[in-house]
Amino acid sequence: MKFCIENFGCQMNDHDTEKMVHLLLSKGMERIQDVNRADIVIVNTCCIREKAEQKFYSLMGRLRKIKRKKGTILGVTGCIAQQEKDGIGEKLPFIDFSLGPSSIHRLGEAVDCAIAGERHLFDFSNNGCIDSLLIKPGTRRGKIKAYITIMKGCNNFCSYCVVPYVRGREVSRNSSDILQEIENLALLGVKEVTLLGQNVNSYNKARDDLPFPDLLRCINDIDSIERIRFITSHPKDMSLELIECFGSLSKLCESIHLPFQAGSDRILKLMNRGYTIEEYRKKISLLRERCRDIAITADCIVGFPGESEEDFAGTLNLVEDIRFDGLFSFAYSPRKNTVAATLPGSIPREIALERLAHLQKIQKAITLEHNRAMEGKITEVLVEDWSKNSKEEVTGRTRTNKIVNFKGSSGMLGGFIDVEIVKGYANSLKGEVRKPIGGHTC
């Protein structure tokens, strides 16, 4: 049987999709990309932001028509499946099964039931289970990058966020299990690993196992692994010990994603973020003291309930002062079951979008400035694939996670190449191959 998985959302969802692919390939099925030719279509969903949810329901309308024509088995997984657990069968009466993020280990069972003609909307009550967390999708030989989930869930309960409700409480994997997985990936040729968790800084918090900085040190000692990244961090849990890892661990890349969400202490308190702007600025300062050329990206929400012009000005000031390498910014949208959805002071949509456009214009100029500052510098690039821009170019990323396109050959794929940056654009860099150099920036 042929299956197709349509994926929405974050890196956690990307990795969950890898796990589901692994489970279905293990059943002897074939993965394809065309929903029209597939016998089974699974939609892995995200409800963190309104846009992803809207795209999901639009896609389901199209898939319903395909199902009517050829009897395609349809399944829904991920955060929307969890959030709508009590009513998804009524909202989408044509689906054959649904699974929350903590139940994807039951995918084979769900597919078997659907093939047998049984509709199965699984019990979501055990959202704290770790069986899905422990699935190791492995990798095909020659793959150079891999995601590794080190923990699931979140205990922070930011007032706007549904993660604790759809991903459950924090649960960490044993460090020995993680290290064994990475060692196996290294033997298969993986050179870069990205550690995933809703809040990786809380890894093994209150457990008798390695804390996150020690886990990074152990991974740094694994032969053949050349680059380590992690995502996402919460500012209140960013410890001095973790900050010290930048520059001291040779394989830890000089980049970090550290969401600030708002530039106003009043709004941060309403968001239940647990830190002040002064504390956030101090941690950014410490990161840059420890690692001069570290690239810093962040998340930001505008138009949060009660956000005044003064609050928004605080966000602009923070962005202009810190000068992030990149910023993922969004207009607030209320999410089901969250405290923020009940707060007074709703901001008119047109004002929120106007503020968003203003913020994004400023950040676009800052990102371009960062990229142009790279011109003339020689930097190490891990070549990942052929470029989408040209058949003669390859593409890869710097240690600071910037995309570089340059003329290359198939022999470069999977290798580390020293490249001179000749042009900085808004979203990428243009490079030319130069002789190898040694050392990193920290």
Q: What strand order describes the sheet that includes 2-7? A: 30-31, 2-7, 40-45, 73-78, 97-99, 120-121
Q: With contact defined as beta carbons under 8 Å apart, do 272 and 236 qualify?
A: no
The residue ranges of every structural domain in the chain are 2-121, 145-372, 378-433
Predicted TM-score (pTM) above 0.75: yes
* Structure-block tokens of residue 35: 């929903």
Q: Which residues contact 327 (CB under 8 A, 6 or more apart)?
A: 297, 298, 299, 300, 319, 359, 360, 363, 367
Instruction: Yes or no: say if 12 and 166 are a contact pair by the CB < 8 Å rule.
Output: no
The pair of structure tokens assigned to 71 is 């009897």
Q: Phi first, then psi: give them for residue 146, nearest 5 degrees.
A: -150, 145
Tokens of 138: 């492995």
> Phi and psi at residue 227, in whole multiples of 5°?
-135, 140
Q: Is 2-121 a domain of CATH 3.30.70.360?
A: no
By DSSP bridging, strand 145-149 and strand 192-196 are parallel
Tens place of pLDDT per residue across the chain (442 aa): 999 999 987 888 888 899 999 999 999 999 999 999 999 999 999 877 777 888 899 999 999 999 999 999 999 998 888 888 878 888 899 999 998 888 889 899 999 999 999 877 765 555 555 777 777 886 666 789 999 999 988 999 999 998 888 888 899 999 999 999 999 999 999 999 999 999 999 999 989 999 999 999 999 999 999 999 999 999 999 999 999 999 899 999 999 999 999 999 999 999 999 999 999 999 999 999 999 999 999 999 999 999 999 999 999 999 999 999 999 999 999 998 899 999 999 999 999 999 999 999 999 999 999 999 999 999 999 999 999 888 899 999 999 999 999 999 999 999 999 999 999 999 999 999 976 545 454 5
User: What tokens does 11 get?
Assistant: 């890196």
- Angle among Cα 195, 199, 204 to the nearest 5 degrees reads 80
Say which CATH architecture domain 145-372 belongs to: Alpha-Beta Horseshoe (3.80)
The set of residues, in sequence order, having a beta carbon less than 8 Å from that of 187 and lying 6+ positions away, is 224
414: number of Cβ within 10 Å? 18
| Third-level CATH fold of 378-433 | OB fold (Dihydrolipoamide Acetyltransferase, E2P) (2.40.50)
